[in-house]
Amino acid sequence: MKKGQVYIGTVEEFVFPNKGIIYYEEKPGAEMPPADTVSAEKLIYKVIVKDALPGETIRFQLSKKRSGKYEGRLLEVLSRGEIENEVPKCPHFGICGGCSFQTLSYENQLKLKSGMVRSILDSVLEKPYEFEGIIGSPQEWAYRNKMEFSFGDACKGGELALGMHKKGSFYDIVTTDSCKIVHEDYNLILKTVLNYFKERGIPFYHKMSKEGYLRHLLLRRAVKTGEMTIGLVTTTSLALDLSDLTEALLSLNPKGRIVGILHIFNDGLADMVRSDRTEVLYGSEFFYEEILGLKFKISTFSFFQTNSLGAEKLYEKAREYVGDTKDKLIFDLYSGTGTIAQMLAAVAKKVIGVEIVEEAVEAARENAKLNGLENCEFIAGDVLKVIDGIKEKPDLIVLDPPRDGIHPKALEKIIDYGMEKIVYISCKPTSLARDLEVLTKRGYEVVKGCAVDMFPGTGHVETVVLMSRVKE
C-alpha cells in the first residue's frame, strides 16, 4: 500500500470511539510488505479509518504509513452496513464532523456502544464480573446543554460561517443552523448572531495569519429551568459596540429564557474557548440547572455534564454502586462542580471533593450552600499533590477523572488508602481500562460495570464500575 493512493475495502471490525478496521489484501505481484502487516504471505494490511461504520464498503485514501500502522481517510461510503437502517435526521450529517451514528437506529447505537465497552473491559479483566449492559439517554435528540460553535468559512475565501468543523478538516466550518442534538433555541440564536456579523462584514479569526475578530459562540441552556447564557468569543483586534447585537438577541422569542449575554476576549493562539477578560453585556455570567432534586449554579466555564437528563441516569447508577453511605467519609476525587459530592452528602457523614480547576471548586462551594449542605468540603488542587495533605482517611472513594484517566502516581496514592470499595466513573473506556490494569494488579477486582449513553449520535459513552478489595 502506498501513501496517498485510493483503495476500496469493507469494515470488518469497529473499535472505540469511531474507528473502522479494514483488512486490505494487496493484489498478486505487489512488493513484499514489511513484517508489521497482518500477513506477509497474503499481503494483508490492517488499516484504521475513522468514521467508517461496521459492514460499510468504502473508498479511502491511505493517509498514514509509519511505525507499522496504516491509517486511511474516508472519502466515500459505497454501501451501508446491515446495522444502518435510519435516514439521518440532521441536514448537516455527513458534512459536519459532530455526529457519525445517525444512520443507526438508537437501539443499534446502544448495542454497538455496549459491545465496545464490554470488549474493552474484557481485554484487561481476567476475573469474571457482572456487566449490566447500557443505559440509554432519556432524550435521543436536543440533549446537549452546551455547544461551542466556531466562526470561519466553508471554503477558503467563502462567506462567513458559524457552526462545527467540516468532517476531516481543521479549517473549514459548516454553518449548523439546523443541528438536531441541541434545542431549537440554539439554532435561533446562531442564525441571529451569524446574520448580524455577515451584514456588517466583520472578519473571523484566521488560524494561519493570526488575524481577525470573531472566534466562537458559546451557548449553554439548562434543560430543567430553560435558562440560557450566550458567550461571544472574539479577539481584541476591533473595538465594536455590541449593543445592537444584544438588543437583537433580547428581542428573540426563544422557548427558554436568556439570563446572560457575555463578550469574552481571547487573544490566545490555541483554537480553544478561553477567557482573557469577560464583559457582561446583559444579565449575569451564570444560570441554574437542577439534577436529582439539587440546584446547581453554573458559570460560563464551569464543567457540567453536557446531557443533564443523561447525567441523572449516570449519577443514579453511581449512587447505586456506592451503596450504604451512613456515617461514612467519602472522597470525591476530580469532583468538578461537586455534583456527585452533593448527591452523596445528603446521606453521608461527610464528603471531601478535590478538583484542580479553581473556578469549579468555587462553584461547588456555592452550590453546596445553595442546597443547604454543610457536610461538603471542596479543595482546589491536583489530586496527586492534595491528598497527601488530607488528614482524614476515607471510607469510600469515588473517581471521576478527565478523559485521559488518572495520573499513575496519583493512582498509586489512591490505592495505598486500601479502601474496601471504589467507584470509578469514566468518559473514556480505554483510559479506564488502563487504570483497571493497575488496580487489579494491586489487589482490586471489578464486581460490576455498566455503560451509560450521554452522547447519542456519536461514538462516545460513559462507563461506571464498582471495585472491591480482594480479601487476603
Q: For residues 258 and 38, give the distance between their C-alpha atoms in angstroms, rounded to a whole number.
A: 56
Q: Are 442 and 406 in contact (CB under 8 A)?
A: no
Q: Which of 227, 149, 155, 229 is nearest to 194 (CA)?
A: 149
Q: For residues 400 and 86, give the distance between their C-alpha atoms in angstroms, rounded to a whole number.
A: 34
* Residue 123 parent element (H or E): none
Cis peptide bond N-terminal to 17, omega within 30 = yes
DSSP letter assigned to residue 389: G
| The one catalytic residue among 179, 376, 427, 450 | 427
Which residues, at least 6 apart from 334, have a Cβ–Cβ distance to it below 8 Å?
354, 355, 356, 383, 399, 400, 401, 402
- The residues that bridge with 76 in the sheet, in sequence order, are 59
Given the C-alpha cell 471504589, which residue does it identify?
422
Q: For residues 448 and 446, give the distance between their C-alpha atoms in angstroms, rounded to a whole number.
A: 6
Cell digits for 122?
Answer: 474484557
Which residues, at least 6 apart from 444, have a Cβ–Cβ distance to it below 8 Å?
415, 422, 467, 468, 469, 470
Q: Which of 190, 207, 284 is nearest to 245 (CA)?
A: 190
Q: For residues 360 and 1, give the distance between their C-alpha atoms in angstroms, rounded to a whole number.
A: 49
Q: For residues 19 and 7, give the distance between their C-alpha atoms in angstroms, rounded to a whole number.
A: 17
Cell digits for 130?
Answer: 457482572
Give me the amino acid identity at 226: G
Half-sphere exposure of 453 (CA within 13 A, CB side): 28
Tell me whether residue 427 is one of the annotated catalytic residues: yes
- Concatenated DSSP letters for 321-387? HH---TT-EEEEES-TTSHHHHHHHTTSSEEEEEES-HHHHHHHHHHHHHTT--SEEEEES-HHHHG
Q: What are the catalytic residues?
A: 427
